[in-house]
Amino acid sequence: MKSYMAGAIVLAVGMLVSCGGGDGDSKSGASGSGGGSAVAGTRVEESAATLSGTWTAASTDYGWSGGSAIQSTTAGATATISFSGTSIRWLGSRGRAMGIATVSIDGGPAREVDLFARPNDEVHTPIVTISDLSDGPHTLTLTVTGRQNGSATGNVVVLDAFDVQPGTTVSHWQETNPEMNFSAGWTKSDMSLPWSGGGASNPPDQPISAQESTTAGATLTLPFRGTGINWSGYRGPDGGIATVQIDGGAPTQVDTYSPTQKFQPVVFSVGGLADGNHTLTITATGSRNAASTNSRIVVDAIDVITPGRRYEEYDSSVSFSGTWDDMHRDSRVFSEGASAVSNHGGATATFRFSGTSVTWIGCQKASASGTARVTLDGVVQGDFSMNQNYPIEGYQMPVFRKDGLAPGPHTLIVEVVSDGGGYVVVDAFDVR
């Protein structure tokens, strides 16, 4: 089973900021002292957790939340956080050398979370959200098991941060997303570097990497629907200066220079947007600050933030019938690291929910080129093809969305109508 409930980056309402991974603090040792009880809507960094066992600083090559993270391979090592709210999300890392941990609330039953994934290490990523808690004080305990699955090359467990009662979902879009419109002047980055989603591909397609530019005026334009957005890029001694605009508004300058390289840092965040359609524009200026050796701007991935709650495909509200080839496809950066896939006609995924809006989160690319029929409350909504030609590859994509539903219970059915060939991916469902 994959990890539990997906996550989001908590953003300051109404704030437009330029931010980044920083150089990171070095954190190690057997124990730490947490402070106070975190409240709803807050981000709590790893330094606030109470630790037991051996934890060491995670690699400073990555742009962690708050600039640093900690990791452990020691069986029985724990991290404990006190909070007040109805849900909590753990942010950490997935990758080939990641192991197995457990999480529990208030000393209750432990849930096992496997952090293995086939793409490159993914950092500051939502690992698990535990929801439906009573509205009051709680304690989360994360325990390192020292174990790993048969495909993993290590048993590392990373703690980056916690989000307390975020109330949002996040969709992590790679630079190959079909909505990303790059102008002339961008090139594919070195695929050997640890970019988000890299290191995995369906031959003859090349692995995902990132897009970069030193060309003044080169732009990325991305339409999205949500209340916030994060740009994951790069900071380094050759980092340049870009500008960012939301809906064509005043540009915000983002300087990506750092004396040391940082991969996958969030270099820009915006939150508190109206819940509707928006456009992100990133423009390379071709300029740099005096300390930098170049004007390099990198677009690695974009996180789209939307209000609501995400239900993963393993949730009890989702049931499957027919033939599904893999209920834990971990080959890409899927929501919570895995998805369910089928290319057998008649296979169905049925989602029962209560809310006024629903979104099916899936995948669009050449090898996931199947066709699915969506039925909502007994009414066919249409047939949807997943096909996109390489190099377009869309992960954690909103394949179908329906707003304006009457408050109360509803049933959404995704039915595979193509047979053989391309797959249909059920990654998650978002509900408001």
Local confidence band at 209 (pLDDT 50, 70, 90 cut-offs): very high
Q: What's the mean pLDDT in 282-295?
A: 98
- Whole-angstrom Cα distance, residue 172 to residue 361? 11
Say if residue 32's pLDDT is above 80.
no
User: Any idea which residue has 């009051």 for tokens?
Assistant: 136
Q: Give strand ranges (E) for 236-334.
A: 241-246, 252-255, 262-270, 276-287, 297-299, 301-307, 309-312, 318-321, 326-329
pLDDT at 214: 98
Q: Output the CA torsion sign for 385, 386, 387, 392.
A: positive
309-431 folds as: Jelly Rolls (2.60.120)
The average pLDDT across 360-386 equals 96
pTM of the model: 0.90
Q: Is the peptide bond before 391 cis (omega within 30 degrees of 0)?
A: yes
Residue partners of 25: CB distance under 8 A and separation at least 6: 47, 57, 67, 68
What single letter denotes the amino acid at residue 415?
Answer: E
Q: Tell the CATH topology of 172-305.
A: Jelly Rolls (2.60.120)
CB 266 within 8 A of CB 142: no
Res 229: pLDDT: 98
Distance of alpha carbon 196 from alpha carbon 287, whole angstroms = 25
The mean pLDDT value for 155-182 works out to 97
* Whole-angstrom distance, CA of residue 179 vs CA of residue 117: 25
CA distances from 40 to 7, 16, 91, 328 (A): 14, 21, 16, 31
Mean of the per-residue pLDDT values of the chain = 91
pLDDT tens-digit map of 308-342: 999 999 999 999 999 999 999 999 999 999 999 99
Superfamily of domain 16-166: Galactose-binding domain-like (2.60.120.260)
Contact between 93 and 160 under an 8 Å Cβ cutoff? The reply is: yes
**Identical topology for domains 16-166 and 309-431:** yes
**Which range has the worst mean pLDDT, 14-28, 222-236, 301-315?**
14-28
140-153 mean pLDDT: 98
Between 36 and 313, where is the model more confident? 313
Q: What is the dihedral of CA 167, 313, 360, 346, to 10 degrees?
A: -160
Percent of the chain whose predicted confidence (pLDDT) is above 90: 89
Token reading at 393: 């590859």
Q: Look up residue 98 and give its DSSP letter.
A: B
Q: What is the pLDDT of residue 204?
A: 83
Q: Which of 352, 354, 429 is nearest to 398 (CA)?
A: 429
Domain boundaries, the chain: 16-166, 172-305, 309-431
Q: Give the sheet arrangement for strand 157-159, strand by strand.
A: 56-57, 70-72, 157-159
How many Cβ atoms from other residues are within 10 Å of residue 127's Cβ?
28
